[in-house]
Structure 1
Amino acid sequence: MYAVFVLFPMLQSVQYSFYHWDGIGPATPAGLDNWKAIFTRPELLQSVVNAFVLIIFYTVLPVGLGLVAASFIRELKPGAFSTTARVLLFVPQVLPLVAAGIAWTWMYSSDGLVNQVLRAVGLDQYTRAWLGDFTFALPAVGVIGVWVMLGFCTVLLLAGIGKIDPSLYEAARLDGAGPVREFFAVTLPGLRRELVVCTTFTIIAALASFDVVQIATQGGPGYQTMVPGVQIYRLTFLQQHVGQASALAVFLTIVVLLVIWPIQRLGRQK
């Protein structure tokens, strides 16, 4: 099943990447033209750069904030407040990304919640059409990624904290360690495997992002929020450049593997 539905299509994509093909008519050899275009056509290269920028929002911020949130929730006594905090943080993870994209598109609109809050606190000069602004469109999309990924990272890290031997915390306190020293000496080393899983999952989500960007901006304004996933979709179904889309898809796969491989190696080290 894996060979038929995963490996064979991947090999076909590699083959198509060396042809000019519209998906219907006869294909003609393209040599390395499709691959060269990834580095010479600004819109294609910009999509890859944008995907790496999104790693800040999909990975760095959710993992960092997730560590803080998990450490804070760990200190709470079991009860309604602790349970509610976990549920509220994890809700975005179970929502369809399309629904999340639509909801945030409404909130980012000129009369949406974000601008209403800014006006309510007297910051009218900062209101804008966030997803239509050339400067703030990509960070605005990134914030959606933070909102979606934070719950996953928090719950996973919280589960990891629960597996750390409580005697290690007691020993740290007896040695005079404060909350910060305790975090870096006990909590952080004990969460290495969970951090690897969080980082791997969120980096793949950033580099292969499609749903949120397609719903919120479709890669606009201009190419400011264009990512490889949306670009591959447009090349294939709107422009009928299947060969170019296949080259970009294979290139994206290689990039993901190159980024994830050292992280996985780090997680296997003792």
Structure 2
Amino acid sequence: MASRPPVVEGAPRSRERRVRGRSRWRGYVYVLPALAVYLVFAVLPALHTAYLSLFEWDGVTLGDWVGLDNYAEIFQDPILRRSVVNALVLVVFFSFVPIVLGLLSTGLLARHRRPGMGAYRFLFMLPQVVPLVAVGVTWRWLYGDDGVVNQALRAVGLDGAARAWLGDFDAALVAVGLVGTWVLSGLCMMLFLSGVQKVDPSLYEAARIDGAGPVREFTAVTLPHLRGELAVAMTVTTVAALASFDIVYVTTNGGPGEQTTVPGLLVYRLAFSEGKVGLAAALAVVLGCLILAIVYLINRLSRSES
């Protein structure tokens, strides 16, 4: 009678490990093209920018090594510090106000579904499909001495409130911020409306049976289901505020004085107008780190709440 071959207990496990290893490496192969593009067009330019920030360079001649002097100048120069403060102020108008308006609009639309909702959503999303340069040019005209804003104020008897909004030292930054509010409010509303679609309608019915009013229904049913969308909206709008350039460049170009100067605009000026590429690179690195820190904080808070 023929003897059976010895059974190796570890054979199935080793075969399973080989299969898993092949599957893992096959997944890396599929990701490799996208990873290569990301490394070439995102990671390497970021590292090169950080490298340039250690030099005093005009973009033409050989640069001189200065180490961290460019970063020290950023925190010592009042104009550079003011630009960061202005960007943080714009966060209020680009992020906080649009999110509040988006939540209010979502609360109204989620409770009462009426004909014409498609047109309503289209009007609010229109600023997202219009180039920001065109938005800046349009609002610069609206804010002019004889623009629609001043004409409306004079029509209701508020002639004293009319002014050159983009040329007023006290009102210019707020005027630019309101442009960002107009642009991003529709985006926030659409994000929140998409989040409302996943809420079970029976939850609204149960809340109404329990006697919940519009405010209680929104805070108890709608808002808890929008945590993910809130995190996305906060991330997108905050990055838009801190990295703002085109709207500010077209409307005020940083003026009057330095009242609306933001880091993105200063990076452009320093690199292409003043020939301070190293200082511009250092400011870009600081701005990037600030954005990453705020986005990380938003994600941490959203995860802890969920």
Q: TM-score range by the shorter chain?
A: over 0.9
After superposition, residues 43-192 of structure 1 pair within 5 angstroms as: 43-80=79-116, 82-192=117-227
AA in 1 matched with 2:213: G
Q: Is the 8 A contact 2:142 2:148 kept in 1?
A: yes
Q: Does 1:219 align with 2:254?
A: yes
- The structural deviation recorded for 1:108 is 0.4
Aligned equivalent of 1:258 = 293
Percent identity over paired residues: 52
CA shift at 1:267, angstroms? 2.8
Q: Distance in 2 between matches of 1:96 and 1:167?
A: 41
The answer as to 2:50 corresponding to 1:14 is: yes
The aligned amino acid for 2:191 is L
Q: Is structure 2 residue 72 aligned with structure 1 residue 36? A: yes
Aligned length, in residue pairs: 269
One-letter code of the match for 1:44? L
TM-score, normalization: structure 1?
Answer: 0.97
Q: List gaps (5 residues or longer) in structure 2.
A: 1-36
What amino acid sits opposite 2:187 in the alignment? F
| Letter aligned with residue 262 of structure 2 | V
Name stretches of at least 5 consecutive residues in structure 1 with no aligned partner: none
Distance 2:170 2:45 in 1: 38
Q: CA deviation at 1:78?
A: 4.2
Alignment RMSD (CA, Å): 1.0
**2:247 maps to amino acid:** V
Give the Å deviation of 1:162: 1.3
Report deviation, 1:177: 1.4
1:233 counterpart (268, 291, 298):
268
Structure with larger RCO (C-alpha < 8 A, sep 6+): 1
* Residues 75 and 185 of structure 1, relative CA distance in 2, 3 Å threshold: closer
TM-score normalised per structure 2 = 0.86
CA drift of 1:174 comes to 2.2
SS at match of 1:239: coil
**Range moving further from structure 2, 15-24 or 71-80:** 71-80
- For the 8 Å contact 2:111–2:214, the answer to whether it is kept is no
Matched residue type, 2:254: G
Measure, in 1, the Cα distance between the counterparts of 2:56 and 2:292. Answer: 26
